[in-house]
Chain A
């Protein structure tokens, strides 16, 4: 059929099964927005900032497992979106982001709202396109969805000049994709898998190291099976929270800079690391030369470039983690769980020696309590997003996650301002669950304009602001490593968060006591409107334990015993 470029975009999104698009219109993308006005196949959610549109699409994608879609205009519309693209790239979130561009005849002339968008997005997307002919659009859009969602997922950016959205050409979406140069390796080498399983059966202190790739691959339930059948203890990365349920006996906890003592000690003592969908991030490994020093390494990942990038793999297995784990499950017969009994006891001893905990305070609510309390009151009924900082780590440490895709956070890029819009996307994807965003008094101000979107589109996200009047994580580092010089981190001057929420038509609560918190949370869940629950927490609380940057995992700063000071 002969249609224009803008109509092609709508057709392609519809054929891809897209039901929600996040975006913000502007000059160069107007032809597409004119077609959005005319259609009924998908819903468009107008955010109040382009960065928020991308984060919302990320949250939507992470919660639903589908490709997130966002639409923006040229120039500043695009540059505002760059942080979101980079965030999705670091955390391997599949997105298709469509931007308008000035007409072909004006490209390169420094036209109004012109910027070299593909030049900028090249280094923060999995792939990108500048579409110069409407005739190319069906193929490009089809490739974009394919590339975003296969292999190691990631954002794909499609830049479309305004005249191309007006140009009429043939639209045929049944075209076969010819991607001779893009063939992700999904099936793991059977011989390597066999060798890896033999190594597991011979190991004395093996340890599962579970990563976010498991969630991307929808392999959490297969991994749960593998862990259970082998009886091998497991640690999770921050991005893998929810792969195992919090109450799984074999889950030691989260590892890394703010991981538990037991997890980090287990990683230091293991003789065989079984890495599934992980990338040995510096926040996980600490000092590389001391990381799992005496261990062999099985590394399963879809991205060959992740394997032996930082830590040499003894058993490299390139493949989709779901495929590989299914193969491994076939070979668990030789693995004897009883062989690891004393190793499991060692791990339990580590946990008993320095359990993950915090000290209550009689005057002020401790932030960790808030996270635990939400876990107790809502648990599995909530999807949890976070912003970036101390609250983020406390959420990773203390929330009782029960399932994959329950937790969305900006792990790789560490983007303050991610949480609220992401939680809106999560709510759009799974309206039956309560969408919570744990945030801080620093982070929430980066994208608080999204209160308007949440009110208008009825996305009742509950933002729990752990307010310590500080840019807390930076303050913590200043306290510990900069001799308490709290340079520009004191956020004592603040808006009235209750009135701020109310000004947009949301609801606000200020909470000083535990009783007030319970009442506020219960009320917010009932009210079904976007909420700010501002919790006044202890100002100087630190995230503990902690591996100082560049330190060894076994050399942790631990929570002070009560009474120490």
Chain B
């Protein structure tokens, strides 16, 4: 079996109750699994929340992660995605002195726009596949970004 670390997206449906997030993160830290990103929000009109975890590991590790997650009592379902639509959002703050037209065009190419213009700074958002978000963040370096925030990925099976 190959021990190559593979990037994987795992979605977890859990009962929305106290300390459930700690149960998940404790499991990852206790067993030495990686978390690249983790997002969590309640599922509308239900008692459940949905987590999207981006992780990496060998095939065996990923299998263990899904099994160990499933063993947690408040976990209803675990999806280890194969064929999915994945999106992430990022917000970036630039000095207002940068070329706003350039930045705006770039944002549009990455499914984003300027969301706030202030006296000293402008704030933009983009929402795209995580890989493309990375690209975007690389490209905008030349406009001296002051602050960057990424949301972590969310995903749905096709």
Q: Which residues in A have some Cβ–Cβ distance to B below 8 Å?
A: 118-119, 122-123, 126-127, 130, 132, 147, 179-182, 303-305, 308-309, 312
Which of A132, A181, A309, A312 is packed against the most chain B CB atoms within 10 Å?
A181
**Nearest residue in A to B74 (C-beta to C-beta)?**
A181
Shortest CB–CB separation between residue A359 and chain B, in angstroms? 44
- A180 touching B64 in the complex, CB below 8 Å, given contacts A119-B22, A122-B19, A123-B30: no
Choose, from B65-73, B95-103, B142-150, the stretch at the interface: B65-73
- A305 touching B74 in the complex, CB below 8 Å, given contacts A122-B26, A123-B26, A181-B15: no
* Chain B contacts for A182, CB-based, 8 A: 73
At the interface, yes or no: B63 with Cβ under 8 Å from chain A? yes
| B73, A305: Cβ atoms closer than 8 Å | no
**Nearest residue in B to A152 (C-beta to C-beta)?**
B71
* Chain A contacts for B64, CB-based, 8 A: 305, 309
CA distance A301 to B44 in the complex (A): 37
* Chain B contacts for A179, CB-based, 8 A: 73
CA distance A122 to B70 in the complex (A): 15
Per-position 1/0 for B59-86, Cβ under 8 A of A: 0100110011011011110000000000
- A147 touching B73 in the complex, CB below 8 Å, given contacts A181-B15, A305-B68, A308-B63: yes
Shortest CB–CB separation between residue B51 and chain A, in angstroms? 14
11 contacts between A and B (CB under 8 A): A122-B22, A122-B26, A123-B26, A132-B18, A147-B73, A180-B76, A304-B67, A305-B68, A305-B70, A309-B64, A309-B67
**Nearest residue in A to B67 (C-beta to C-beta)?**
A305
Per-position 1/0 for B18-34, Cβ under 8 A of A: 11001100100010000
**Nearest residue in B to A127 (C-beta to C-beta)?**
B73
**Nearest residue in B to A126 (C-beta to C-beta)?**
B73
| A130, B73: Cβ atoms closer than 8 Å | no
| A181, B73: Cβ atoms closer than 8 Å | yes
* Chain B contacts for A303, CB-based, 8 A: 71
| B18, A130: Cβ atoms closer than 8 Å | yes
CA distance A127 to B15 in the complex (A): 14
- A181 touching B76 in the complex, CB below 8 Å, given contacts A118-B19, A122-B19, A304-B70: yes
CA distance A118 to B19 in the complex (A): 9
Shortest CB–CB separation between residue B61 and chain A, in angstroms? 10
A-B contact count (CB 8 A): 38
| A305, B30: Cβ atoms closer than 8 Å | no
| B73, A122: Cβ atoms closer than 8 Å | no
* Chain A contacts for B73, CB-based, 8 A: 126-127, 147, 179, 181-182
CA distance A167 to B71 in the complex (A): 33
CA distance A118 to B26 in the complex (A): 12
* Chain B contacts for A118, CB-based, 8 A: 19
**Nearest residue in A to B64 (C-beta to C-beta)?**
A309
CA distance A118 to B71 in the complex (A): 18
| B30, A181: Cβ atoms closer than 8 Å | no
CA distance A304 to B70 in the complex (A): 9
* Chain B contacts for A122, CB-based, 8 A: 19, 22-23, 26
**Nearest residue in A to B1 (C-beta to C-beta)?**
A312
Rank and list the top 8 A-B pairs by shortest CB-CB distance, nearest first: A305-B67, A127-B73, A181-B76, A123-B30, A182-B73, A305-B68, A304-B67, A122-B26
Which of B1, B19, B70 is packed against the most chain A CB atoms within 10 Å?
B19
| A181, B75: Cβ atoms closer than 8 Å | yes
**Nearest residue in A to B60 (C-beta to C-beta)?**
A308
Shortest CB–CB separation between residue A62 and chain B, in angstroms? 22
**Nearest residue in B to A124 (C-beta to C-beta)?**
B30
CA distance A147 to B74 in the complex (A): 12
CA distance A122 to B60 in the complex (A): 24
* Chain B contacts for A132, CB-based, 8 A: 18
**Nearest residue in A to B75 (C-beta to C-beta)?**
A181
Per-position 1/0 for B26-68, Cβ under 8 A of A: 1000100000000000000000000000000000100110011
CA distance A216 to B19 in the complex (A): 30
* Chain B contacts for A309, CB-based, 8 A: 64, 67
Shortest CB–CB separation between residue B53 and chain A, in angstroms? 17
Shortest CB–CB separation between residue A108 and chain B, in angstroms? 13
CA distance A147 to B70 in the complex (A): 15
**Nearest residue in B to A119 (C-beta to C-beta)?**
B22
CA distance A281 to B64 in the complex (A): 16
**Nearest residue in B to A180 (C-beta to C-beta)?**
B76
Which of A123, A130, A179, A312 is packed against the most chain B CB atoms within 10 Å?
A123
Shortest CB–CB separation between residue A395 and chain B, in angstroms? 31
**Nearest residue in B to A147 (C-beta to C-beta)?**
B73
* Chain B contacts for A127, CB-based, 8 A: 73
| B26, A305: Cβ atoms closer than 8 Å | no
- 16 more A-B residue pairs beyond the given contacts A180-B76, A305-B67, A305-B68, with a C-beta to C-beta distance below 8 A: A118-B19, A119-B19, A119-B22, A123-B30, A127-B73, A130-B19, A132-B18, A147-B73, A179-B73, A182-B73, A304-B70, A305-B64, A308-B60, A308-B63, A309-B64, A312-B1
* Chain A contacts for B68, CB-based, 8 A: 305
